[in-house]
Structure 1
Amino acid sequence: MDLQRPRSAYNLVQMVQLASELGLPLARCLEGSGVDERRLSEAEAEFSGHAEIAVIANIVRHLDHVPALGLRMGQRFHMSAYGLMAFALCSCQTVGDATRLAMRYGALSFSLTATRLDIVGGDARIWLEDGHVPVPLRRFVIERDLVGLTNIGREMFSSTLPMRHIALAYPAPAYAADYARYLGLVPEFSAPQQQIVFDRAVMESPIPQADAVMLRRCEQQLQVLLERRKAGTGTAGRVRQFLRRQPGMAVADMAAASAELQIQPRSLRRSLQAEGVSFRALADELRQSLAEELLLVPQLSVEDVAHRLGYDEVASFTRAFKRWTGLPPGKWRSLRLRGLR
């Protein structure tokens, strides 16, 4: 699992809310994570997996005395954690199809645990991989993810999927008996491999809401979201995130990006070149994307769009837009709204 990749702020919000209820101030939760608490309330906010791990480390360090902390945290996660993917999962033909789809787009889910499905004889085995998680945090992450996934499965399929066996690598905690209340059974602890075992028939169970057309539509959008998440990695990804936060992208400059990212301008330029892009190309890419989105809002004039992008003169915006698309913004909008492009 790539911890550099952006992840939804939903994960952090759920965790810091419970931590706050347990007496841990927000500032202590976010300490050293690089997360700006003001951005937690933004609907589209995203943070790296490394930031999420840092927040988890703070919560575990300060609240490790709370029994079953990871299990309790998992209860905070529901279908809303899956967003668009929830519709896709409910549209699959079988539980097995839904499981494979969830794994295929796992980077879009709340889970930090990597998974793999094997069908062997009468068993369906989901292997759990947490090697990318620091050892002191693995129990918390596994507990959170197992309970969260159990909740989501119950909400999607109107019943708990019957697990026959759970094997976990870490030793049994003092509250081991509590697992039955959250998961329906007590796992095997100190196991050589981590897995959840279902009867194969569970994976072959049909999903009542199956809809092939809806599934295709959802998968198309999920693929777009996945590509956007992938584009958020590396130096180029950090620059993209910086540019998205700028109120006037027309005047965004490398010096400001260098200062915020704490990278010398020359080093930033070299890093971007190594990834096959330039600062100007990234800025133009995002300006064009935002310009096209705004131009599709009929209530906004071309002048409004230009000003929202930070251009002082409409003529400057028009020249830039023609360089990006080959068309002036008014003509592009007319053709797109008529469905000719």
Structure 2
Amino acid sequence: MPAPLHTDPIPFITLPNWVKAATVCGFNIEPIFARLGIQTDLLHLEEATISVPALGQAMEACVAASRTQHFPFVLGETFAFDYLPDIGTFLATAPTLRDATRVFDWVRELINPMIDIRIEESGDRAALTLAGQGAVTGQDRYFIESLFAAIVKFGRMLAADVESQASLQFRYAPPDYAAAYEAYFRIPVRFAQPRNALEIPRERLDAPLEGSFAKLHAQAQVRVEQRLAELPRRTGLIAMLEAVFEERPALLGDGIETVADHLGLHPRTLQRRLRDENETYAGVVDRVRYRLALRALQDPQTDLESLSERLGFSDRRSFTRAFTRWSGVTPSSFRQRREM
């Protein structure tokens, strides 16, 4: 969901989903994209971005163009991880709903940084809540509708019986088409609530799911985390920090005080600004180390001792432990797999 204060371009890997939803709603989305100057390059989809204003304008245009169904509902209903199949596999093989919610962290990283879903638990109820308490505009409402349409869809896929005890809450006043909500979602819906959330019985978060498949689930998680590690940040302080590490990997082992000084910041300021971007210093260091290690291990001549030192580890054993934690296999095993 676009947030008013977010000005950086965001990934647009969901472009095919928009095209599919428009087709279901009975209109051609190409003229809308052309009018708004939105690039449509499927060959480089992973690099595609879109500005928040353009995304909001596209949503409003699609809502206006749809004559048969409410476009945001269809956009959420037709969403699938077509270009991120490992996330789809992770979700489908999750042992519990609580474990499945890990997907929201990846969605925020790979699809939309403004989708910040958190679990809130109180008494015998739990809620998947969309963070953010600002005023909700018309455009925001459409994206909230789309997001919860997708959440309900995947919730039914994982645990169809849970919807009999589920309900939806929205912070905004009932729109003039409010009757369409319960007809579409088929669960109780309340407006003018303190939060935007899907509420379910708390006990269901940890109840076993029938689709659980531990081996595939673990493999999918490793593949997604590898992809995240290889993905550079495009903007902001995190991008600056990653660029410094890429240029001078030795800084990875020097500690936050040295790195903050290199950036001209006080260590507490660096920590605070990273926290403002929902990141930690250790998380950035791990991600860059993992990315650089993945690149280096593609070369069969890479010496693991020198690689460990280059990435700022105290010794090879520390590097091996860290790489195993990130990928599930040792550096040597990872390289052997690539050579097979």
Q: TM-score, normalised by structure 1?
A: 0.59
Between structure 1 and structure 2, the one with the greater Rg is 1
Q: Report the equivalent of 1:137.
A: 139
Q: Report the equivalent of 1:202.
A: 204
Q: Report the equivalent of 1:36.
A: 39
Query: Residue type of the partner of 2:107?
Result: G
For residues 195-246 of structure 1, give each alpha carbon's deviation from its aligned partner in whole angstroms, at most 9, with x where no partner exists: 22111122122022334443333222222222334534459979x9xxxxxx
Instruction: Mark the runs of 5 or more structure 2 residues left unpaired by the alignment.
Output: 243-262, 265-290, 301-309, 311-334
Whether the aligned pair in 1 keeps the contact of 2:164 and 2:187 (CA below 8 Å) is no
Aligned partners of 2:198, 2:143: CA distance in 1, in Å? 15
CA apart distance, 1:140: 0.8
Counting aligned pairs with the same residue, the percent is 16
Q: Report the equivalent of 1:179.
A: 181
Query: Residue type of the partner of 1:7?
Result: P
Query: Residue type of the partner of 1:28?
Result: I
Aligned partners of 1:84, 1:339: CA distance in 2, in Å? 18
Whether the aligned pair in 2 keeps the contact of 1:114 and 1:129 (CA below 8 Å) is yes
Determine which of 14, 17, 33 is the counterpart of 1:14.
17
Aligned partners of 2:9, 2:231: CA distance in 1, in Å? 6
Q: Secondary structure at the match of 2:173?
A: coil
Q: TM-score, normalised by structure 2?
A: 0.59
Label 1:45 to 1:186 Cα distance change in 2 as closer, same or farther (>3 A): same
Whether the aligned pair in 1 keeps the contact of 2:158 and 2:211 (CA below 8 Å) is no
Q: Report the equivalent of 1:279.
A: none
Whether the aligned pair in 1 keeps the contact of 2:104 and 2:115 (CA below 8 Å) is no
Deviating more after overlay: 189-198 vs 208-217: 208-217
Say how many residue pairs are matched.
260
1:208-247 paired onto structure 2 within 5 Å:
208-234=210-236
For residues 75-129 of structure 1, give each alpha carbon's deviation from its aligned partner in whole angstroms, at most 9, with x where no partner exists: 2213547521222233333212222x12332325656532110221101122113
Aligned partners of 1:134, 1:32: CA distance in 2, in Å? 23
Label 1:23 to 1:177 Cα distance change in 2 as closer, same or farther (>3 A): same
Aligned partners of 1:223, 1:90: CA distance in 2, in Å? 17
Q: Report the equivalent of 1:281.
A: none
Q: Secondary structure at the match of 1:215?
A: helix
Determine which of 132, 154, 157 is the counterpart of 2:156.
154
CA apart distance, 1:51: 3.3
CA apart distance, 1:157: 4.1
Q: Secondary structure at the match of 1:216?
A: helix
Whether the aligned pair in 2 keeps the contact of 1:74 and 1:145 (CA below 8 Å) is yes
For residues 57-85 of structure 1, give each alpha carbon's deviation from its aligned partner in whole angstroms, at most 9, with x where no partner exists: 22314633746221122222135475212
Aligned partners of 2:98, 2:238: CA distance in 1, in Å? 36
Aligned partners of 1:225, 1:200: CA distance in 2, in Å? 32
Q: Report the equivalent of 1:120.
A: 122
Aligned partners of 1:25, 1:103: CA distance in 2, in Å? 27
Whether the aligned pair in 1 keeps the contact of 2:59 and 2:142 (CA below 8 Å) is no
Query: Residue type of the partner of 2:30?
Result: L
CA apart distance, 1:52: 6.2
Matching of residue 168 in structure 1 with residue 170 in structure 2: yes
When the two chains are superposed, the root-mean-square deviation of aligned CA atoms in Å is 4.5
Query: Residue type of the partner of 1:175?
Result: Y
Matching of residue 105 in structure 1 with residue 109 in structure 2: no
Q: Secondary structure at the match of 1:197?
A: strand
For residues 277-312 of structure 1, give each alpha carbon's deviation from its aligned partner in whole angstroms, at most 9, with x where no partner exists: xxxxxxxxx9x988986x89xxxxxxxxxxxxxxxx
Whether the aligned pair in 1 keeps the contact of 2:96 and 2:205 (CA below 8 Å) is yes
